A and B are shown apart, each in its own frame.
Chain A
Amino acid sequence: MYERLIVERRGPVGWLIFDRPDVGNAMDARMMAELEEAWRELDDDPAVRVIVNTGNGRNFQTGLDVAALSRDKEAMTEQSRRTRDAELRFTAWHNQVWTPVIAAVNGSCAGGGLHFVADADIVIAASDATFFDTHVSLGQAMSYEGVGLSHKMAFEPIMRMALVGRTERMPATRARQLGMISQVVDPPDGLRDAAQELAEQVAKNSPAAMRATKKALWGALEHGLTDACRAGAQELVAVWGHPDQTEGPLAFSEKRAAEWETST
């Protein structure tokens, strides 16, 4: 069913892997459609507690497949409309995925690949990963990716990436200094093991509490501070009375692993 992605489960961790290594995992119309389907499938699966997103081959993701676009403009009509109307559906955030998402960046993350960094909850990268934005070098404007990132980290590095274009790459170590990512995995081939390990730790926490936490914290990017706190207070209180709220402290005091509610 998936031709452009690999979607699989390892324990409590769902893996969503870009699988067009010959073209730098660039997105054509088919891949964009499959991404929407895959995020939904993984988010709806109660056995999947955490999702890891990575790429096959030597690139993580290099954005829109410009070659495919130049061959067949018609195929991209629907995606162009979605871009214009801000109705994109290819990242976890676009699809309102409330399961925690870890992006594990292998190799190059270029242009539209930054969507998946901006829209993940946690980002780790292989030590040979690089981040750059090719849009202006190809006569395209950078927008969504930079807007998303500008809410999450220092502004100047994003603007520099956007304006310098393809002639400069940000290494993983600098991305970590800036807080764009939180972990550099060395050697690079340890990336997937590190991601699985981190995901299994996250998977130990209450799914209901993490869902409400994600809603509160992503929601905070939508509002001014006071309004965001008001909205966040509603997410906080919404979980009061949920069984995880008493199970958590109980398990802690009894020194055992908590048994979380797995449904909603």
Chain B
Amino acid sequence: MGDEHLTFSKFDTLIVERHGPVGWLINNRPDQLNAMSSHMRDEFGDAWLELDADPEVKVIVHTGEGRAFQTGVDVQELATDGMGMERYRESVENWDLHFTAWQQGVQKPVITAVNGICAGGAFHWVAEADIVIAASDAQFFDPHTSVGQVVAIEAIALLRKMPFEAVMRMALVGRYERMNAERAYELGMISQIVDPPERLRDAAQELGETIAKNSPAAMRATKKALWGALEHGLTDGCRAGAQQLVSMWGHPDQTEGPLAFAEKREPRWAP
């Protein structure tokens, strides 16, 4: 994968790059199984916004270096920096978080590509992505309650999107059980298993390029409508969704799409 983009900031804990229309955000603390330090937490906030702002990027893929996708907050740092979770108290209490695409209001499609271990706080990026695929050797588990911690926000988003019982079982069984990619697929937590695992990034790039063919404006409005639906009861969700639907009427993509289809050519989307 060449074609590296030079407009992104230099990050210490992340790799951010572009391949064709696909922006990549790669967790890069493999020796700590990509656990999130305070510094990484800050870098996530910037990286999502840079990728969302780059007009060349149509779709964002998020994955990890090494044998883990992500393993939650960096417990080592918590245990040794003298501040522990207190460092995060204000941002959590005030619901002022910025490390996921959803928290940052990213409007572009986001694909999470789970490599290897996905544990605890890592579920934030499973729950808050639009599409999730995984390598065949991916493993999902949530050790929070096994180390005296509460499962809350990441599972809350997850249980709106898949069967509740599976999420609750993971939360209550803790580190004594792992879910494999096959079960995650059955439950609709992920939509694709990539085998062999080494093909994960190629498959994600391919899926990203496929999605990048669609109208950015239509996908933006679709994301708003469908994520918005998780905020409301059904009738209110439809009312709010109707606003997103109508917001596209008169947009050039609405005529370009059908025209290109009729003329059997690739559509030229407005940015």
Contacts and interface: CB of A to CB of B under 8 A. Distances in A.
Bound together: yes
Interface of A: 100, 120-123, 151-154, 177-182, 198, 201-202, 204-206, 208-210, 212-214, 216-217, 220-221, 224-230, 232-240, 242-249, 251-253, 258, 260
A213 B230 contact: no
A242 B84 CA distance: 13
Contacts, number: 169
A229 B174 contact: no
Contacts of B157: 225, 229
B151 A258 contact: no
28 contacts: A179-B164, A179-B165, A179-B186, A179-B187, A182-B169, A198-B173, A205-B145, A205-B146, A205-B173, A209-B145, A209-B148, A209-B150, A216-B155, A216-B156, A217-B151, A220-B155, A226-B95, A229-B156, A232-B156, A236-B152, A240-B89, A242-B148, A243-B148, A245-B85, A245-B149, A248-B146, A258-B146, A260-B148
A123 B174 CA distance: 16
A225 B160 contact: yes
The DSSP consensus for interface residues of chain B is: helix
A225 B231 contact: yes
Contacts of A244: 148
A249 B151 contact: no
B93 interface: yes
Contacts of A181: 165
Q: Considering residues B148, B159, B186, which has the most beta carbons from chain A within 10 angstroms of its beta carbon?
A: B148
Nearest to B156: A220
A216 B176 contact: no
B75 interface: yes
B183 to A, nearest CB: 9
Interface of B: 75, 78-79, 85-86, 89, 92-93, 95, 144-153, 155-157, 159-160, 162-169, 171-174, 176-177, 186-188, 227, 230-232
A237 B92 contact: yes
B171 A217 contact: yes
Contact of B92 (A205, A226, A233): A233
Contacts of B171: 210, 213, 217
Nearest to B103: A229
Contacts of A228: 156, 160
